Structure 1
């Protein structure tokens, strides 16, 4: 039986998240570059790179970057849109990275690409893998949801249209997971439904998980605009290094 993340990240995902544009990626990479002091000799892993918006932006800045994702559909889009930059895009599971230890200077994990798995052990395995592939003093940035913000600002149901397709999103909190049911409907393909399910860890839980695996958080932001992290900030962006 397929998992939700194996089913959801296909062609319909590109429609549902059509609003994620290159301009936003460029602004975010500008901030990431400043926060992490990215340099030309850094070797960067864009972990769960999706269609490669951020990967391409890093390459445009003449930075050495590799993109990894589990979805063949999203990686195919990434390869086709980023041909000029000759970026290596690799299919892989973030719990079992296909790299030897101490390979990367920087690992980026953007847009809540963490907490996808049912068990804490599997989610922590991702952190272990990030620590394993980072060089000594290597840096990381994890752009994750802010649990309290999600709970307080949850929109139960929303509807919209994209390219003639009706999209309905139903959101709920189930135990420690935020769950989104996405229903798409059009005349050509009829109705189809996907589910997204992400574990909502607290700040303290994330810090503990990172520290247990040799990763030290040096700074936390509440968004890519540089606001401080607090209970009501939209995001939890954790920045640190091995050590």
Structure 2
């Protein structure tokens, strides 16, 4: 039986998340460059790169970028973008990367974490990040803020994108934020159903996993426009640190 993340990141994902634009990615990359403080030409791994928005913006900024994702559909979308030839694209599970490492930075963005049931599997991802980094290499992990999710969860929403009805139901259950998505094309269309699930971790729990993976946490930001994370208000937990 395949996992939810093996089913959900296909052609319909591009419809559901069409609103994630490339200009927003450029703004976020500008902020990340300031945090990382890396010179042009540095090697950067975008782990779970999706459709390549951040990989392309990082390459535009002068970095040598490798984008890794499990979804061949999203990688094909990334490869179709202008400037895609500047990035090395690769398909892989994030828990076991076919790379030797030596990167100056690894970024893992927009809640591309917490997909697995067991904490040990999440730590495997963090250990791979540690292995990918050279000593002194830096990481950024952009995760949701559980307190914000719980306070602002929208249980149900319906919208239309290019003739496709998108019905989304959200809930907090068993320590996860879960989303069920139903897409229907036209009045006679057969519903297409997907499920997404992300395990919720507090800042303290996430920090413990980072330490268990041999990484050093330096700072937690609340968004790309907030220098400090405030549990009651911040939308995100953006972890920034280094491989000692």
What is the TM-score when the length of structure 1 is the normalising length? 0.97
| Cα RMSD after superposing both structures | 1.2
1:172-227 deviation digits (Å, cap 9, x = unpaired): 01111100001101137421110000001110011111111221111111001124
Following the alignment from structure 2 to structure 1, what is the Cα–Cα distance between the partners of residues 124 and 2? Answer: 20
State the partner residue of 1:94: 94
Structure 2: distance between partners of 1:147 and 1:82: 35
Query: 1:85: Cα distance to partner?
Result: 3.6
Counterpart of 2:170 in structure 1 is 171
Query: Secondary structure, in 3 states, of the residue corresponding to 1:151?
Result: helix
Alpha-carbon separation, structure 2, partners of 1:72 and 1:84: 15
Aligned to 1:201: 201
- Per the alignment, in what secondary structure is the counterpart of residue 23 of structure 1? helix
Matched length: 242
- Greater shift in the superposed pair: 84-93 or 11-20: 84-93
Equivalence for 1:127: 126
Kept in 2, the 8 Å contact 1:59–1:85? The answer is no
Runs of 4+ in structure 1 deviating by more than 4 angstroms, as ranges, are none
The 2-side partners of 1:31 and 1:104 are apart by 19
Paired with 2:180 and 2:39, the residues of 1 have a C-alpha distance of 41
2:56 and 2:83 in contact (8 A); partners too: no
Name the counterpart of 1:238: 239
How far does residue 40 in structure 1 lie from its aligned partner after superposition? Answer: 1.4
Are the aligned partners of 2:220 and 2:240 in contact in 1 as well (CA < 8 Å)?
Answer: yes
The structure-2 alpha-carbon separation of the partners of 1:84 and 1:3, relative to structure 1 and needing over 3 Å to count, comes to closer
| Contact 2:105 2:139 survives alignment (8 Å) | yes
Q: Deviations over 1:10-38 (max 9, x none)?
A: 00000000000011000000000001112
Q: Distance in 1 between the 2:189 and 2:77 partners?
A: 21
CA distance in 1, matches of 2:41, 2:82: 21
What is the CA-CA distance between 1:54 and the residue it aligns to? 0.5
Q: 1:84 to 1:186 in 2, by over 3 A?
A: closer
Give 1:82 deviation, angstroms: 4.1
Aligned-partner SS, 2:228: coil
